[in-house]
Amino acid sequence: MREPNWMQKGLNRFGFWGFVILSAFGLAIFFLVYPLVGMLSRSFLANDTGKLSLVNYVDFFRLPYYFNTLKHSFAVSITTTIFAILLGVPMGYVVARFNIPGKKILNAMVIISLLSPPFIGAYSWIMLLGRNGFITNLVRHIGIEIPTIYGFRGLILVFTLKLFPFIYMYVQGALQTFDSSLEEAAENLGVHGLKKLLTVTFPLIMPTITAGAVVVFMTSLADLGTPMLIGEGYKVLPVLVYEEYMSEIGGNATMASTLSVIIKNPYLHTGADQ
């Protein structure tokens, strides 16, 4: 039996690229939407009964064991973002505006630093500044005892040096495409030096700095490898999610799903802080 003419025309109109687009949407739904929906629905199930319940969310905000990890995560992410801005903005400005020696090498090294996986980067810092690290032993021989890299201070150090390249590259790119005639006009009006930077240059690139700060904040908030190796007693939310999923003494998959939803939802973050 011959296929109806209208159906044949519809298939011809749909074409090869139509099937490609449809397949791409199908893969996105299967690999992205389906796991997210499954995680969200599981967060509303009680671990013992399997029935719909808000007990996981109530336990998170009620029990210090869970809620303190959110405070720790915010403390690390906010502090890291501030230090990354303080380091990345001046560095990006100097590289973009001045012809310093080794600029190309510096840019390459900054970009390469972003390629390091979290576990490898954290382990490298442990090899340098750990309790038996190379630099630690080196300065110990001359009678200097440096602070430990483990805990809150170590997380801030590692995250700042790992993530400030985002701010650096954003600022450098913005300044390279910056309309210098605006600064020239400000100088013609008598605005020079630091005042020109604060009133003309930085306000114009502030959206770029904000975008880089958001990337730094969210990356440090969701990082697992660095806090797991360096955090030790200073536990953050991603580490707790991993432990709830992988605990050898019996994890809580529904609570892990709840923690995952919370760390991915900025509105819950805001509400928790308030």
Taken in order of first residue, the domains within the chain and their CATH numbers are 64-273 (1.10.3720.10)
Query: pLDDT tens digits for 23-57?
Result: 888 888 888 887 788 778 888 887 777 777 788 88
pLDDT at 146: 84
Query: pLDDT tens digits for 86-125?
Result: 999 999 888 888 888 888 888 888 888 888 788 888 888 8
**Residue 244 neighbours by CB distance under 10 Å:** 19
Q: Which amino acid is at 186?
A: A
Average pLDDT over residues 194-215: 83
Helix, strand, coil percent content, the chain, rounded in steps of 5: 75, 0, 20
pLDDT at 15: 67
Average pLDDT over residues 57-68: 86
User: Higher confidence at residue 35 or residue 77?
Assistant: 77
pLDDT more than 90, % of the chain: 15
Instruction: For residue 81, give every residue at least 6 positions away whose Cβ sits within 8 Å of its Cβ, in sequence order, or none.
Output: 213, 216, 217, 220
Query: pLDDT tens digits for 16-32?
Result: 777 788 888 888 888 88
Query: pLDDT tens digits for 149-176?
Result: 898 999 999 999 999 999 998 988 888 8
Instruction: Categorize the per-residue pLDDT at 270 as very low, low, confident or very high, splitting at 50, 70 and 90.
Output: very low
Q: Which amino acid is at 205?
A: I
What's the mean per-residue pLDDT of the chain? 81
Q: Is 74 helix (H, G, I), strand (E, B) or coil?
A: helix
Average pLDDT over residues 207-213: 91
What is this structure's pTM? 0.78
Instruction: Categorize the per-residue pLDDT at 12 as very low, low, confident or very high, splitting at 50, 70 and 90.
Output: low
Instruction: For residue 222, give every residue at least 6 positions away whose Cβ sits within 8 Å of its Cβ, in sequence order, or none.
Output: 238, 263
Q: Which amino acid is at 72?
A: H
Q: How far is CA 131 from the centre of its chain?
A: 27
